């Protein structure tokens, strides 16, 4: 939780201490994982300060306990990574530290937590509560813990979630030696905010979710500091040109839909965002068709196709603005839980292509081997991915779960 000040961390801990010590003496349950990770890059870096290969270790335990006939629970999940090359990737965070009370038709959560919204594979437009932990992975899947108070009401007509979000988390970025970074690099110490409250600005969100037959749906509203920073030129500590993050105030309405129709899974995420720079809409959607038991085996093969459209086009602060994702998902359905996902994201205007391969397999009951391969092909100089054109890499991780 490196980017949240010590005083604010202390306040959250003080709020949770009475809950912790008022609970009856019940043994803590321990779960989690520890992992070793290696990355190898196939090309020389654009910046001579960057490395050719890297290794790191991570630890993510989870401590939990319940009492009051399982109506109350406390969950603590810290995370730490030590990286052999990039000081900025050596970091720690509190992914979750929550007191949870489950009432009759309602639930309350207080502390630091993680919330995921969305249904699509390639891009997650509606997922806005937690900040991206970019030094972990550029796919946006890894998130920082978010201070929050959450109230959920479960009714016959759906679930209403209310969020109060005090304490903004800045996005993490690789350092000078890090790979998979911009050129010039991002200097987090130069971060600026539209709000005079800066990281103390209180955001809020509301989401309704429900299912009707084969349809799962969600409608959400967010008001506060945008998680996706804009960038302005600045000067670093050594007088070099860097990028300074700027966090604007936004309001965002979103919808996510998913329909399960036999072997077909149809998905849609759409947003309309109002901000300081401009108002715009964006959407991503498509399908996943799964053939069960291919070639008379236990394996399944899924074919995925998704479209990504951003109204801003080339003005967008994301590289995925007029792209199509095509992929295959193979699931062995064996004792080792072997899965493989392979796909490509192609910009249909300039031809820039990102190839991605992800595979995982369990060994015994405790070990999980994960492999990730990424390659950038025919990247247009005007594309935001151009800075990654020499960052093709292979990543291998071995995790032990306990």
Q: How far apart are CA 249 and CA 196, in angstroms?
A: 11
pLDDT (tens digit per residue) in 237-247: 888 999 999 99
Nearest to 154 by CA among 216, 111, 104, 228: 104
- Please determine, for residue 4, whether its predicted confidence score (pLDDT) is greater than 90: no
CB atoms within 10 A of CB 186: 23
pLDDT at 283: 97
pLDDT at 26: 57
Contact 168, 135 (CB under 8 A): no
Specify the 3-state DSSP secondary structure of 12: helix
Q: What is the dihedral of CA 42, 48, 49, 50, to 10 degrees?
A: -10
H or E stretch at 13? helix 6-22
Q: How far apart are CA 361 and CA 107, in angstroms?
A: 36
Nearest to 110 by CA among 121, 101, 123, 122: 101
Q: What integer best gives the mean pLDDT of the chain?
A: 93
pLDDT (tens digit per residue) in 280-328: 999 999 999 999 999 889 999 999 999 999 999 999 989 999 999 999 9
> What percentage of residues in the chain have a pLDDT greater than 90?
90
Work out the average pLDDT over 98-103: 97
Work out the average pLDDT over 26-47: 93
pLDDT at 277: 78
CB atoms within 10 A of CB 203: 23
Q: How far apart are CA 58 and CA 312, in angstroms?
A: 38
pLDDT at 24: 52
pLDDT (tens digit per residue) in 370-387: 999 999 999 999 999 999
pLDDT at 237: 85
Q: How far apart are CA 139 and CA 137, in angstroms?
A: 6
H or E stretch at 18? helix 6-22
pLDDT (tens digit per residue) in 224-268: 999 999 999 999 888 899 999 999 999 999 999 999 999 999 999
- Please determine, for residue 6, whether its predicted confidence score (pLDDT) is greater than 70: no
> If DSSP states are collapsed to H, E and C, what string results for 132-201?
ECCCCCCCCCCECCEEEEEEEEEECCEEEEEEEEECCCCCCCCCCCCCCCCCCCECHHHCEECCCCHHHC
pLDDT at 239: 86
Q: Apex CA 178: angle with CA 172 and CA 180, to 5°?
A: 80
pLDDT at 19: 47
Backbone angles phi, psi at 140, to 5 degrees: 80, 5
């Amino acid at each position: 939780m490196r980017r949240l000040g010590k005083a604010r961390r202390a306040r959250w801990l003080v709020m949770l201490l009475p809950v912790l010590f008022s609970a009856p003496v019940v043994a803590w349950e321990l779960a989690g994982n520890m992992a070793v990770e290696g990355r190898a890059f196939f090309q020389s870096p654009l910046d001579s300060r960057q490395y050719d290969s890297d290794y790191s270790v991570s630890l993510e335990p989870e401590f939990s306990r319940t009492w009051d006939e399982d109506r109350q629970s406390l969950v603590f999940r810290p995370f730490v990574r030590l990286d052999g090359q990039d000081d900025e990737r050596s970091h720690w965070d509190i992914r979750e530290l929550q007191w949870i009370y489950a009432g009759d038709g309602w639930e309350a959560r207080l502390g630091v937590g993680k919330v995921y919204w969305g249904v699509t594979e390639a891009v997650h437009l509606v997922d806005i509560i937690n900040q991206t932990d970019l030094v972990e992975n550029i796919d946006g899947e890894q998130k920082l813990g978010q201070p929050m108070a959450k109230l959920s009401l479960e009714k016959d007509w759906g679930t209403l979630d209310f969020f109060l979000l005090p304490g903004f988390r800045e996005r993490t970025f690789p350092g000078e030696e890090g790979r998979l970074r911009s050129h010039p690099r991002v200097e987090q110490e130069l971060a600026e905010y539209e709000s005079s409250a800066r990281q103390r600005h209180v955001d809020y969100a509301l989401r309704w979710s429900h299912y009707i037959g084969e349809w799962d749906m969600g409608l959400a509203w967010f008001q506060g500091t945008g998680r996706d920073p804009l960038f302005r030129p600045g000067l670093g500590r050594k007088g070099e040109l860097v990028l300074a993050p700027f966090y604007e105030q936004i309001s965002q309405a979103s919808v996510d839909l998913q329909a399960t129709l036999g072997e077909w899974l149809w998905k849609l995420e759409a947003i309309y965002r109002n901000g300081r720079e401009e108002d715009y809409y964006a959407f991503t959607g498509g399908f996943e068709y799964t053939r069960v038991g291919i070639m008379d085996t236990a394996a399944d093969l899924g074919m995925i196709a998704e479209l990504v459209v951003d109204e801003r086009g080339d003005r967008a602060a994301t590289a995925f603005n007029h792209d199509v994702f095509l992929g295959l998902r193979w699931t062995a359905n064996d004792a080792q839980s072997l899965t493989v996902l392979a796909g490509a994201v192609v910009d249909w205007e300039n031809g820039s292509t990102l190839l991605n391969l992800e595979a995982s397999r369990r060994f015994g009951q405790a070990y999980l081997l994960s492999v990730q391969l990424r390659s950038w092909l025919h990247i247009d100089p005007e594309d935001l991915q151009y800075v990654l054109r020499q960052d093709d890499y292979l990543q291998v991780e071995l995790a032990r779960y306990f």
